[in-house]
Amino acid sequence: MSSVSDKGLVVGFYENSEELTKEAQELNTKTNGHILKSIQLSDTKGKLGDTLVLYDITPEVPRLAVVGLGKKSDVPSGDYEKFENVRRVIGSGVKSLKAKGASEITIDSTLGDVRSISEGAHLSKFKFDFKTKKADATPEKNVNIALSDASLEASPEWSTGKVYADAQNFARMLMETPANLMTPSIFVSTVQDKFKDLVASGKVEIVVRDEAWVLEQKMGMFYGVAKGSDEPLKFLEIHYKGAADATKPPVVYVGKGVTFDSGGISIKPSAGMGLMRGDMGGAATTVSAIYGAASVGLPLNMIVLTPLCENMPSGKATKPGDVVYAMNGKSVEVDNTDAEGRLILGDALVYAHTFNPTTIVDVATLTGAIDVALGQHFAGAFAATDCLWKQIEQSGNTAGERMWRMPLAQEYRKQMDSKYADIVNAGGRSGGSCSAAMFLKEFVTVDRWAHLDIAGVMYSNEDGAYLKRGMTGKPVRTLIELAREISKQ
């Protein structure tokens, strides 16, 4: 049981007005207008996310975060603003109270829709580092989140938001962990531990493949990348059967799992190379997405495939100019060993077709070109059908993880022509993310396929309202939401 000093409450007020949310208004009445007076005396204007922390309001409320809600007359332009504004408000309030020592935080239930409140609160709790603590240091307390209307905590919306946030936080942890502590083998064991309850329940099956299986499947592109490292490769499969008909064709997500990318023989510059611990962001987000889908019980069959390896230079490594053979038999010239993600994904995409999928979506930190094009605020979506694009766009807007449709045009395929092989793995700087997508398309035959290039959104250089600086775990919530949309078909 917490002491009073652990407690905090998040409430809201509108910009340039004296209108408060329900809990704030009740406190203002109890304290003879103290809340409004404090706001007026401060420089807090009520713009979205502006936060003012007040103390010793009542014996039950030792800390109060009053968060700006913007102008009440400003109607959200769509689902993105509608839900994202709530997450930002909640994240701002929770983070400000955490910074002031609160560990039992209650949120005014009238601040927005319950699922967005839950997502914003639980995503803002995330903390992950390897800092050691002094022997006499006070142990850090876990932060517990509650709603002022306790009955809403039993709602599906609250629990769904919590699962979505937990799934994304799992991806953030996987991506933040240094590469020496997150090898392909450790990645697999970490996922197995996370999924143990789902596996025990019979909802999920996990299959781990090794090098012998990869060679048996003739995955020459994947093996060509992996063989340069002393760390053994892994090919991870996660199967979730949530549909009433267990034989119904599945949705397949394929995630790039390069647990560290040095560039191989085409080695990267040293500046910023440490961020390449997150080059398995595609694998991290897809395994987290199927965790979320299974945890909320989405009614669909779903498979996640993640080829896991390191891309390292050595005497065993693939060299520029080498030719490897894909699982579908195509010959591939490796012009640039730092264009390795498309190689391991290509073989995984071919394998994905063996499950007779209705839809395939691959997710990868694939190109620096997408970061140049879109920056850190939109992921690039290459969708083969308009219908699938609309589902991806809507899912991203609902989740607060925006997508921008990029062209899948045959002209970009010409950049991948090789003098010696069926295709080359690098097509030059011009339109780099587009030519990379066309490379992947060579290994896809289903109509409903999309490639999400998340290299730009992998890492945030600044603290946000509910996501701190670091690996973002995007687009986990979009992927779960997309699975939800597809399950309605």
How many domains does the chain contain in total? 2
The rounded radius of gyration (Å) of the Cα atoms in the chain is 24
- Regarding whether 307 and 391 lie in a shared domain, the answer is yes
d(CA 322, CA 324): 7
Q: Is 419 assigned a catalytic role?
A: no
d(CA 462, CA 397): 21
Give per-residue pLDDT as tens, 124-178. 999 988 888 777 667 778 899 999 999 999 999 999 999 999 999 999 999 999 9
pTM score: 0.96
- Regarding whether 222 and 352 lie in a shared domain, the answer is yes
Nearest residue to 439 (alpha-carbon basis) of 459, 425, 455: 425
User: Of the residues 91, 106, 125, which one is the last residue of a structural domain?
Assistant: 125
**What does pLDDT average to over the chain?**
96
- Regarding whether 410 and 290 lie in a shared domain, the answer is yes
Q: Is residue 147 part of a domain?
A: no
Residue 17 has pLDDT above 90, yes or no: no
- Regarding whether 190 and 49 lie in a shared domain, the answer is no
Which member of 30, 203, 268, 330 is catalytic?
268
Give every CB contact of residue 452 below 8 A, 6+ residues apart in sequence.
361, 362, 363, 364, 379, 380, 381, 382, 392, 403, 475
Nearest 5°: phi and psi at 203? -75, -30
- Regarding whether 280 and 379 lie in a shared domain, the answer is yes
Give per-residue pLDDT as tens, 184-234. 999 999 999 999 999 999 999 999 999 999 999 999 999 999 999 999 999
Distances (CA, A) of 252 to 126, 286, 350: 28, 10, 12
Please list the helix, strand and coil fractions of the chain in percent, rounded to the nearest 5, in that order. Answer: 40, 20, 40
Which member of 63, 342, 441, 448 is catalytic?
342
Q: Is residue 390 part of a domain?
A: yes
How do beta strands 359-364 and 449-453 pair? parallel
- Regarding whether 448 and 378 lie in a shared domain, the answer is yes
- Regarding whether 108 and 182 lie in a shared domain, the answer is no
Q: Is residue 159 part of a domain?
A: no
Check if the beta carbon of residue 306 is closer than 8 Å to that of residue 254: yes
- Regarding whether 187 and 281 lie in a shared domain, the answer is yes
- Regarding whether 184 and 116 lie in a shared domain, the answer is no
Q: Is residue 413 part of a domain?
A: yes
What are the start-end ranges of the E strands in 340-446? 359-364, 379-383, 403-405, 423-424
DSSP codes joined into one string, 356-385: --SEEEEEE---HHHHHHHTTS-EEEEESS
d(CA 152, CA 168): 22
Q: Looking at residues 242-270, what average pLDDT do you find?
A: 97
- Regarding whether 426 and 336 lie in a shared domain, the answer is yes
Residue 377, exposed/middle/buried by CB under 10 A (0-12, 13-18, 19+)? exposed
Residue 418, exposed/middle/buried by CB under 10 A (0-12, 13-18, 19+)? middle
In this prediction, residue 242 has a pLDDT band, given cuts at 50, 70 and 90, of: very high
- Regarding whether 405 and 327 lie in a shared domain, the answer is yes
Q: Is residue 136 part of a domain?
A: no
CATH number at residue 54: 3.40.220.10
- Regarding whether 407 and 481 lie in a shared domain, the answer is yes
Q: Is 342 assigned a catalytic role?
A: yes
Nearest residue to 335 (alpha-carbon basis) of 443, 429, 260, 411: 429
Range of the domain at 43: 4-125
d(CA 173, CA 161): 18
Q: Looking at residues 348-371, what average pLDDT do you find?
A: 98
Q: Is residue 149 part of a domain?
A: no
Q: Identify the three-state secondary structure at position 65.
A: strand
Check if the beta carbon of residue 279 is closer than 8 Å to that of residue 255: no
In this prediction, residue 102 has a pLDDT band, given cuts at 50, 70 and 90, of: very high
Check if the beta carbon of residue 249 is closer than 8 Å to that of residue 355: yes
Q: Looking at residues 300-324, what average pLDDT do you find?
A: 98
Q: Is residue 394 part of a domain?
A: yes
User: Of the residues 125, 158, 187, which one is the last residue of a structural domain?
Assistant: 125
User: Of the residues 125, 157, 187, which one is the last residue of a structural domain?
Assistant: 125
Q: Is residue 161 part of a domain?
A: no
CATH number at residue 460: 3.40.630.10
Check if the beta carbon of residue 242 is closer than 8 Å to that of residue 203: yes
